[in-house]
Each structure stands twice: as C-alpha cells, then as structure tokens.
Amino acid sequence: MRYYLNIPVPGDLAARVSAFEQRWQGSAKSDPHITLVIPRLLLPGQSEADLVSRLEAALSTLPAFPIHLLGLSHFGNKRVLHIGVERSVAFARCHEAAMRAVEGVLEPPSGEHASISHPHITLATKLSPQKGEQAWQAALPQDWSGEFMCDRVQLLRIGPRDAHWIVVATLNLLPSSFISTEE
C-alpha cells in the first residue's frame, strides 16, 4: 500500500478544479488537493495505525491557517497546469511536522517532487504541448487566485487493485480566528 498526505480543496474551488481537470485530462485518482507528503510505501514492520497515530500527534497541535492561491501557473512547457500556492510560514510548519511524523514509518522521499518546494493545486497534467497550450488559453480568463482555510489534512491510501485513492484518516488542526474572503 502507498500513502500520501494532502490538504483538501474546499467546495466551489474543488468543483471548478474537477471540471477543468475532467475537460482537459479526464478523471483523476484523487479529489483536488495540495500535496504535503508525496506517495510512499510503508516501511517493513510499520502499520497504518502507527502512521495515523504519529500524524495525529504531530498535527493536532497546529493551528488552522490560510492557504493563499497565487493564480494560474504551469510546470514545463505547459505540460502541467496548476494553481500556485504560497509556501507561507504556516504551510511550511505543517509540511515539516508531517514530514517528521512519517519519518521511519514511510519510505524516505525521493524524486524531483520530494521537497514540495512549489506547493500547488493541479488543474491538468501529462498534457501534450498542443493540448497544454489550448488548456492554458481556456484557463487564462478565469480567476484562480484567492484564499481558503486549511483546517484539516487527509491521509490517503491506494493499493495495487484500487482505481482511486481512499481517505483513511482526516486529521483536524486547531481552530483559528481566520475568516476566508471567498464567498
């Protein structure tokens, strides 16, 4: 089984992202999100219960925090379109706490996306240059900026026979006084 940790995208924004993704990429294996810990395998001798327990201990003391959306962006030659997310101090604290919690439970991170140096919400991925340009032009008129409150983090699991990621735990952050400007 592979596991990863994400921040779920709320309501209206999730619906917009899903609709865009469906149009340009097809169905996705998980709902719109911001990745905190990339997909990794459990280490031998570790269990899902160990992972959940460590994450609960690490994240339950963190306050909820605002996620600031920076607007439309892309990786590569528009092969991946995404909404940029500010790597705020609060986001970095949450990411670091999650990384410490999974250390010794999940295999070490590897690959180009291991650091989460450019947090984002994927709109479409694995696009050809032509389709990437078409999707870019379709996305440009829309406002992809804004903010929302991160008040929880999700742990997801996928097995070799699973078609989609399954939420196995929702980890709540402490309440905050932040009020979203999104309607």
For 146: left if phi > 0, alpha if psi spans -120 to 50, otherwise beta; the answer is left
Would you kindly state where each structural domain of the chain is located, as residue ranges?
A: 2-172
Predicted pLDDT of residue 63: 96
Under 8 Å between Cβ of 46 and 2: no
The contacts of residue 31 (CB under 8 Å, 6+ apart) are 8, 9, 14, 18
Beta-carbon count within 10 A of 2 CB: 17
∠ CA 146-152-155, nearest 5°, is 120
> Tokens at residue 25, please?
């990429």
Cα distances (Å, whole numbers) of residue 87 to 24, 44, 65, 67, 115? 27, 32, 12, 9, 12
Predicted pLDDT of residue 119: 95
Q: Roughly how many angstroms between the first and final C-alpha of the chain, as a whole number? A: 38
Predicted pLDDT of residue 183: 41
Predicted pLDDT of residue 135: 96
Q: How far apart are CA 109 and CA 41, in angstroms?
A: 10
Predicted pLDDT of residue 137: 96
Predicted pLDDT of residue 77: 83
The string of DSSP letters for 129-160 reads HHHHHHHHHHHTTS--EEEEEE-EEEEEEE-T
Predicted pLDDT of residue 27: 82
Instruction: Return the half-sphere exposure (C-beta side, CA atoms, 13 A cut-off) of residue 70.
Output: 14
Q: How far apart are CA 141 and CA 42, in angstroms?
A: 42
Of the candidates 5, 65, 12, which has an alpha carbon nearest to the alpha carbon of residue 39?
5
Q: Which CATH class is domain 2-172?
A: alpha beta
Tens-level pLDDT at each residue, the chain (183 residues): 999 999 999 999 999 999 999 999 988 888 999 999 999 999 999 999 999 999 999 999 999 999 999 999 999 888 999 999 999 999 999 999 999 999 999 999 877 666 677 999 999 999 999 999 999 999 999 999 999 999 999 999 999 999 999 999 999 999 976 444 444
Task: Give pTM, 2 decimals.
Answer: 0.91
